Structure 1
Amino acid sequence: MYNDRVYDVHSLGMDVYDKVVLSNSPSLGGIAVAIHLDGKRLSFARVGDSNWRHVSVIRGDSFADCVYHHGRFFVVTMEGLLKSWDLSGLHGPKKKTIIAEDDGDFSDVITRYLVSTPWGHLLQVRVILDTDQENRVKVEIDRCDLKSRKMVALSPSKALRGLAVFLGQNSPCFLPINKFPELRPNCIYFTTPRLRNDSTFMRHYNQWSGAKVYDMNKKTLEPAFPSGGGNFGTMYPSEIWFTPSL
């Protein structure tokens, strides 16, 4: 319940929370950060806490993604602003603004992701409307230079270094092609992004439903495997990536 309202299962992902990010395994202690209330609020809780505490509220924009990287939580907004929080201290959250201005592409941005790479870089993945493409989608990857506080554009080969990347509403995952030969190098495997109830999206991006694979070299978006899709799939995605415990 929230404000005396009872939410059904579908509403949880549309009205209550968008994404939850962990600093590490709950068994080791740690912190969870949640993007919720239609991307307008950021809250956190430590293992053992009985309630969530607000970190930030945003107006006129919305939080697109969050990732834990080098001891801090980094959050990017739909307009491209980037901030980080240190939530480990005893005296409350410590915020740092990395990028304070939008990148000029936000009007065409479908969604954004933040990715912490195995080689230590923080990447931003932007999914952009591109009507010149058959699938109307273009994906660009930038490296977040935390020292200069700028985004540095990367070529497909340098961005992913020949790996396959899985992105969605759970934690990102990099997989080497030599160990998983059925995957494709320099490709991003997407599940349908968490979407607001936006008629503009429904008109332009209906082909992005279910799980998709984007080839950074060919700039193509294809189904990763057969899916029900349709309008229902774009608004209430059921697909997520998961890593089995072996």
Structure 2
Amino acid sequence: MAEPYASPRWSGLAIDLLIHVVHLLELPEALAFRAVCPLWRSASTAAAGVPRTRQTPWLVSLVTDPLPRDKQSRDPSVSSQFLNMLDKKTYQVSFPQGKGKAVALCGASQGWLVVANELSDLILYDPFAMTTIPLPPITGFSKCIQGVYADGDATHDVVSPGMAFYDKLVLSGSPFAAAGAIALVVHTSGKQLSFARVGSGAGSSRSPSWPLLTSIVQSDDRDSFADIVHHSRAGTRFYALTIKGLLVSFTFSPGRNKAKREVIIAKDDDQDVVTRYLVSTPWAHLLQIRVILDKDRKNGVTVQIDRVDLKSRTLVGLAPAEALRGYAVFLGQNSPGVLSTDTFPKLRPDCIYFTTPRLRNEITYENRYNRWRSGVKVYDLKKQTLEPEFPWRGESYGPASNPLEVWFTPSQLPYSTFSASLPSLDDSH
């Protein structure tokens, strides 16, 4: 008589199989998976920062008020709220202990949230794996700010500068790649760009500071950076766009602490621009999206989209109804999320989901005709309408207020991943 098979031991599964399972899970299941046992926790940590099968868009907000005891998670230090854009369910997620209280969300890129802690230092945070990567401290910015520290765990004589100092951060790729990644940050009210090398790969190097890349001269007080994006077929190239329309590229070479700077598009200085965005698309185009004050429309704004022709260094106007090819785009402090509405039919095709803009022209933003104020908005390119997707805790933002929410797509892939197989591009870069 054959011996009966022993009961399978889930804790004995190979770690590469466990990592694959983690990539199939949504946020609540991934956190529950991590809590099962030490091996599964290790698999969850090993999956950090790796593109995931699920690309569900999330709206992430800091939680400012403590939850009632009966609604607190196992870790009572809840610091963020995740809203699933597909089923509209919310989940409370705690920031890992020992990293300081989160005081601001400063972006989302390559599957990482960018968080400023109570020491005003930036940290990359993978909420699925509860993994963090510290970035150089705020005192590493050249001629920008001085922090006064005591006992290594408190900041004095300053009031949470991390809440106002950082505007947006994007990554060139995974920090776990062999060569690491470049982190590019807009800071000081959109006036300056700095960068750092981050990563833990065998060939990567980590910067101890934030070298200044470029700044907008103080005499040009009406201009500032509106957006930055990583867009490169190969190598590390970023594009930076100002409110007045100046588009500049920065190319980083391995081992060099400087970047090659090139002007791609000169300023157009459109006085009615509220803000601008850059979008790197799955079909390998670089788009400029302009939000323009329009007094003749009920919603007060019009959205126009141009393709950046990098060969001729010109803008090519696109018909609004055709510009996004049926995709939905998520814009804000995050790297743009460009998601297929065939994959996610609950998303609206040819629509742009906006969070409250942080980098903006304050004159036009505060204009009485502008209806783009608080909460999350969706702009339908075909109907040319701006509608509230839903109010976010009923918050309203004034000129000095910071957005509380940021878009997060767990498996946002770098441009080079989806463009490698394309036969031809209009991109000479």
TM-score normalised to structure 2 length:
0.53
Matched, 1:22 2:167: no
DSSP-derived class of the 2:408 partner: coil
Q: Which among 55, 61, 75 is matched to residue 213 of structure 2? A: 55
Name structure 1 gaps, 5 residues minimum: none
Structure 1 letter corresponding to 2:183:
A
Distance 2:348 2:391 in 1: 17
Query: Which residue matches 2:81?
Result: none
Query: Which residue matches 1:128?
Result: 292
Distance 1:243 1:42 in 2: 24
| Deviation (angstroms), 1:93 | 1.2
Q: Which among 374, 379, 391 is matched to residue 226 of structure 1? A: 391
Matched, 1:161 2:325: yes
- Contact 2:299–2:371 (Cα < 8 Å) also in 1: no
Deviations 1:82-130 (A, max 9, x none): 1101122434211111012x2242x111111111000100000101100
Matched, 1:86 2:246: no
Matched, 1:110 2:274: yes
Matched, 1:69 2:219: no
| Deviation (angstroms), 1:203 | 3.9
- Contact 1:142–1:151 (Cα < 8 Å) also in 2: yes
Kindly tell me: are residues 214 and 69 of structure 1, through their superposed partners in 2, closer, same or farther at Cα, counting changes over 3 Å? same
- Contact 2:362–2:399 (Cα < 8 Å) also in 1: no
| Deviation (angstroms), 1:165 | 0.6
| Deviation (angstroms), 1:13 | 4.3
Query: Which residue matches 1:140?
Result: 304
Give the alignment of 1:137-216 within 5 angstroms: 137-195=301-359, 198=362, 201-204=365-368, 205=370, 207-216=372-381
Matched, 1:6 2:158: yes
Matched, 1:40 2:204: no
Kindly tell me: are residues 197 and 213 of structure 1, through their superposed partners in 2, closer, same or farther at Cα, counting changes over 3 Å? closer
TM-score normalised to structure 1 length:
0.90
RMSD after superposition:
2.1
- Contact 1:210–1:229 (Cα < 8 Å) also in 2: yes
Kindly tell me: are residues 190 and 121 of structure 1, through their superposed partners in 2, closer, same or farther at Cα, counting changes over 3 Å? same
Structure 2 letter corresponding to 1:97:
V
Between stretches 232-241 and 35-44, larger displacement belongs to 232-241
DSSP-derived class of the 1:156 partner: coil
| Deviation (angstroms), 1:3 | 2.9
Query: Which residue matches 1:31?
Result: 182
Structure 2 letter corresponding to 1:12:
G
| Deviation (angstroms), 1:19 | 0.4
Kindly tell me: are residues 124 and 32 of structure 1, through their superposed partners in 2, closer, same or farther at Cα, counting changes over 3 Å? same
Between stretches 171-180 and 76-85, larger displacement belongs to 171-180
| Deviation (angstroms), 1:188 | 0.2
- Contact 2:327–2:340 (Cα < 8 Å) also in 1: yes
Larger Rg: 2
DSSP-derived class of the 2:407 partner: coil
- Contact 1:22–1:31 (Cα < 8 Å) also in 2: yes
Distance 2:215 2:363 in 1: 25
Q: Which among 89, 96, 102 is matched to residue 262 of structure 2? A: 96
Distance 1:200 1:53 in 2: 32
Name structure 2 gaps, 5 residues minimum: 1-137, 139-144, 148-156, 199-205, 412-429
Distance 2:185 2:211 in 1: 10
Kindly tell me: are residues 143 and 234 of structure 1, through their superposed partners in 2, closer, same or farther at Cα, counting changes over 3 Å? farther
Structure 2 letter corresponding to 1:141:
I
Between stretches 58-67 and 228-237, larger displacement belongs to 228-237
DSSP-derived class of the 1:27 partner: coil
Kindly tell me: are residues 79 and 232 of structure 1, through their superposed partners in 2, closer, same or farther at Cα, counting changes over 3 Å? closer
Distance 1:217 1:244 in 2: 28
- Contact 1:124–1:142 (Cα < 8 Å) also in 2: yes
- Contact 2:264–2:313 (Cα < 8 Å) also in 1: yes
| Deviation (angstroms), 1:206 | 5.4
Deviations 1:154-184 (A, max 9, x none): 0123310011111110111111112211111
- Contact 2:379–2:385 (Cα < 8 Å) also in 1: yes
Distance 2:228 2:259 in 1: 15
Q: Which among 376, 382, 402 is matched to residue 236 of structure 1? A: 402
DSSP-derived class of the 1:159 partner: coil
Kindly tell me: are residues 244 and 49 of structure 1, through their superposed partners in 2, closer, same or farther at Cα, counting changes over 3 Å? same
Distance 1:117 1:81 in 2: 20
